[in-house]
């Protein structure tokens, strides 16, 4: 009888690659950006480590993760092991590179680069075809290392490339050191080549205009601005605003770390599940406002204290407003996160996002989050 690798082998992988195991808070999807992957890491774990835990750290100078994930459902579900390397800075092109499907006639049109060999092997899509073709300009000698690296990926079991990730995967729980080293080496090669090529591309007039707007907002509102990563970080408050691609769609991600942890363990998550079904299989705390209860799942303890927190006027108003505009809202004892469609191109957009986030802090951190004795 054959037995596959067990938890001890997964622990050995973490030790071999000097990566920290984490308890993920959501599942993995191949198109997930690296910032989203990091948000999903959850908390570090040191005991009871097994294949459900994601391994995160550095490999050859690049941020990387080794993880398991599942695709499909029921009897058709397939478990995979994957290695994902960060492209830094990201490209902001909505780039997606992978293999063609078995029957290309059913595929949506992709972006052809002009090489029968490459176009036959790789399916390339992006938000702007002209910019993607410029990225892979076959007439520019600087592009050749990138193309060579992509073609070497094509020889691996399964792979994908996005604006911020290069991933490799194969079915099953894979723990063989040489296999994982091969995956990571090739992924790092492509990630570094993509980042290097991205820095070589000139910015479009629209991109330069938005960078100028974000810089103007940063100077006026007390933020540091990282133009390469399109990221604003508060100098005096723990607030971050950053652009991310979700497939071909550009989004603005807002993360607010609270000044100190609220003394209640709870989680608020936007959901598409119908309200009357939300509590059937897990806890769901209702606060008594249908506009809120119909769109969020709330868990935690003690329930009366959590209701009191969430009924705060500005907290309730902000979360209800966000529920009508995005499916991506999370709040817990330590932070508020939301992601909205669009690039937030002007300083006024950024000011509105800042006001949304900081209004929650203003409402929570009176007596609500004041420290209490532990007994």
pLDDT per position as a tens digit, 301-317: 999 999 999 999 999 99
The whole-number average pLDDT for the span 293-305 is 92
The whole-number average pLDDT for the span 288-305 is 93
pLDDT per position as a tens digit, 90-133: 999 999 999 988 766 677 889 999 999 999 999 999 999 999 99
Average pLDDT, the chain: 90
Quick one: pLDDT band at residue 4, thresholds 50, 70, 90?
confident
The confidence score (pLDDT) of residue 143 equals 96
| Mean pLDDT lowest among 109-123, 231-245, 268-282, 331-345 | 268-282
The confidence score (pLDDT) of residue 169 equals 97
The confidence score (pLDDT) of residue 234 equals 95
Q: Are 126 and 90 in contact (CB under 8 A)?
A: no
The residues facing 244 across adjacent strands are 251
Position of tokens 């603005």? 252
- Tell which residue, 342, 331, 352, 320, has the closest CA to residue 256: 331
The residues facing 71 across adjacent strands are 78
How far is the C-alpha of 120 from the C-alpha of 110, rounded, in Å?
11
The confidence score (pLDDT) of residue 279 equals 46
At residue 253, the 3 state secondary structure works out as: strand
Q: Is the C-alpha dihedral spanning 198, 112, 148, 165 positive or negative?
A: positive
Position of tokens 């063609």? 100
**pTM for this prediction:** 0.89
Q: Are 375 and 271 in contact (CB under 8 A)?
A: no
The confidence score (pLDDT) of residue 31 equals 86
| 173: pLDDT strictly greater than 60 | yes
- Look at 199 and 371; give whichever has higher pLDDT: 199
pLDDT per position as a tens digit, 186-200: 999 999 999 999 999
Percent of the chain with pLDDT over 90: 81
Note the Cα 80 to chain centre separation in Å: 19
């Amino acid at each position: 009888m054959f037995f596959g690798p067990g938890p001890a082998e997964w622990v050995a992988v973490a030790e071999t690659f000097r990566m920290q195991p984490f308890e993920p808070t959501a599942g993995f999807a191949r198109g997930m950006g690296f910032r989203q992957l990091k948000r999903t890491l959850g908390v570090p774990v040191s005991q009871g480590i097994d294949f459900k835990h994601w391994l995160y750290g550095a490999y050859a100078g690049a941020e990387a993760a080794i993880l398991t994930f599942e695709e499909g459902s029921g009897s058709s579900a397939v478990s995979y092991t994957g290695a994902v390397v960060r492209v830094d800075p990201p490209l902001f092109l909505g780039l997606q590179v992978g293999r063609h499907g078995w029957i290309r006639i059913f595929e949506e049109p992709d972006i052809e680069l002009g090489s029968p060999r490459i176009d036959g092997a790789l399916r390339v899509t992006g938000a702007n075809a002209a910019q993607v073709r410029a990225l892979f300009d076959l007439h520019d000698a600087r592009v050749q290392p990138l193309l060579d690296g992509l073609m070497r990926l094509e020889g691996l079991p399964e792979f994908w490339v996005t604006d911020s990730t290069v991933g490799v995967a194969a079915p099953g729980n894979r723990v063989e050191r040489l296999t994982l080293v091969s995956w990571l080496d090739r992924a790092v090669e492509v990630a570094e080549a993509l980042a290097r090529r991205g820095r070589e591309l000139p910015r479009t007039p629209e991109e330069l205009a938005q960078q100028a707007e974000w810089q103007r907002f940063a100077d006026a509102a007390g933020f540091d601005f990282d133009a390469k990563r399109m990221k604003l970080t508060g100098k005096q408050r723990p607030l971050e605003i950053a652009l991310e691609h979700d497939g071909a769609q550009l989004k603005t991600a807002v993360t607010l770390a609270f000044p100190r942890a609220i003394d209640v363990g709870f989680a608020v998550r936007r959901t598409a599940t119908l309200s009357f079904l939300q509590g059937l299989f897990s806890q769901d705390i209702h606060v008594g406002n249908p506009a809120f209860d119909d769109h969020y799942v709330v868990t935690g303890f003690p329930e009366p204290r959590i209701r009191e927190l969430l009924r705060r006027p500005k907290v309730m108003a902000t979360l209800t407003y966000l529920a009508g505009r995005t499916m991506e809202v999370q709040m817990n004892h330590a932070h508020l996160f939301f992601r909205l469609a669009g690039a937030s191109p002007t300083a006024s957009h950024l000011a509105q996002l800042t006001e949304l986030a900081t209004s929650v802090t203003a409402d929570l951190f009176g007596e609500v989050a004041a420290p209490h004795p532990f007994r």
